[in-house]
Amino acid sequence: MTFINLSVWISALIGVIIIAWIRSFDIYEKETFMAMIWAFLAGGITAVMIALGVYEFLRIFGLEDEVISNTLGSLLVIGPVEEFAKLMGLVVVYALIRKQFNELTDGIIYMSCVALGFSIIENFFYANSGEGTQYLLVYRAFISTPAHISFSVIIGYAWYRYKKENKPFSTVIVALAIASILHGVFDALAFSPWFNFLLLIYLWLILRQSLRLVQYTNVVSPFRPEFKELFDSPSGEKAEGIGCPNCGSSAPKELCRNSFFTSCRCDDCGYQIASRNDIRKIFRIFAPEYKRLSKKLVPARFNDGRTVMSVYGSAFFGHSGSTGFFRVEEVAGRLQAINDELLDRFRKRSFISANLLRRFFE
């Protein structure tokens, strides 16, 4: 098998893996894998064709690759051209599957697919551009691909607000300018022999900011249910043989079952009882900022002298650690506090200008 054929398969595999990873951030109303594949293909091919066309046009004026492969060319040419091309890819995707755009997260998800398609095709061209360049396929997959996605997510965010929330088109222009600057700075660092050691630090900052944007869209999603309301309609079933880790009662318990988690209520002490995995799901789903459960467990002492392990001071585990217990009101309050803190932190601590961000939030 020639390297060109092998690189096609490697690129496709990397693309599918990253699409599955991107989809994991779409918590409440997941897009179909097929729709994301279409966005990846249609948007990516469109973006590449437009970028190639613009670069070909610029060559008429003597702007060859050697001329723009520097700091000034990165900021004034490469960043704007490639981010504009990805925006046009999103426009095509929106025209094809506009019904799937029904929450703010979708703008980011489909823009990520377009950026991924663009990056994978670009990586393929780089890897097959000549002898000794094959290593670029793997190198660019782990560096350039997440960078391309991170630059562009703000465009997908702005595009949704423009099309679905009647924000002015200037919102998209501002997002395009931000993405172009982020992209241009990245390439400028990559071209600089003096500052390219900062590349990974810069990429980490952009990735962190992009993930916060995704978390924000999940917090404000119209499909995000109210945690307390999930307990208003019990299933009518009884759970037998479950001992309460708080009071030890083994009486039958009213079962609460929904599409997110399962728990049961101990009538003797009033606590909800759930498995460790279900409690992990509660914080993962209803507080998108949440990280791994094991990182959030800390000792807590009850008034009766017992010491238990606590998650955010609102859900508790006994000695076995496999079953936890919580009060709905306490967990609901903690979830709300986590989300409020996330929103406040995103608005105040972004390295993007607060004046620019205000155009998106107000």
Q: Which helix (H) or strand (E) holds 117?
A: helix 104-127
CB 83 within 8 A of CB 183: yes
Q: Is residue 360 part of a domain?
A: no
- Strand ranges (E), the chain: 238-239, 253-257, 262-265, 272-275, 297-301, 307-311, 315-317, 323-326
pLDDT by position in tens, the chain (length 362): 565 566 667 666 777 777 777 788 788 888 888 899 999 999 999 999 999 999 999 888 887 777 788 888 889 999 999 999 999 999 999 999 998 999 999 999 999 999 999 988 887 777 666 555 556 666 666 788 888 898 999 999 999 999 998 888 988 998 999 999 999 999 999 888 788 778 889 988 888 888 888 888 888 888 888 899 888 877 778 888 888 988 989 999 999 988 889 999 999 999 999 999 999 889 888 887 666 666 777 888 888 888 888 888 889 987 777 899 999 999 999 999 988 887 777 766 665 555 555 555 45
Residue 311 gets the label, from left (phi > 0), alpha (psi -120 to 50) or beta, of beta
CA angle 333, 109, 190 (to 5 degrees): 110
**104-131 residue pLDDT tens:** 999 999 999 999 999 888 877 776 665 5
* Amino acid, single-letter form, for residue 343: L
CA angle 108, 290, 206 (to 5 degrees): 45
Q: What pLDDT does 93 receive?
A: 96
Count of domains for the chain: 2
Same domain for 32 and 173: yes
Question: What is the pTM (predicted TM-score) of this model?
Answer: 0.84
HSE-up of 279 (CA within 13 Å, CB side)?
Answer: 27
CB 256 within 8 A of CB 263: yes
Q: Is residue 272 part of a domain?
A: yes
Same domain for 246 and 143: no
Q: Is residue 274 part of a domain?
A: yes
**Dihedral sign of CA atoms 143, 149, 152, 153 in order:** negative
Same domain for 135 and 62: yes
For residues 143 and 14, give the distance between their C-alpha atoms in angstroms, rounded to a whole number.
Answer: 13
Same domain for 276 and 294: yes
Q: Is residue 49 part of a domain?
A: yes
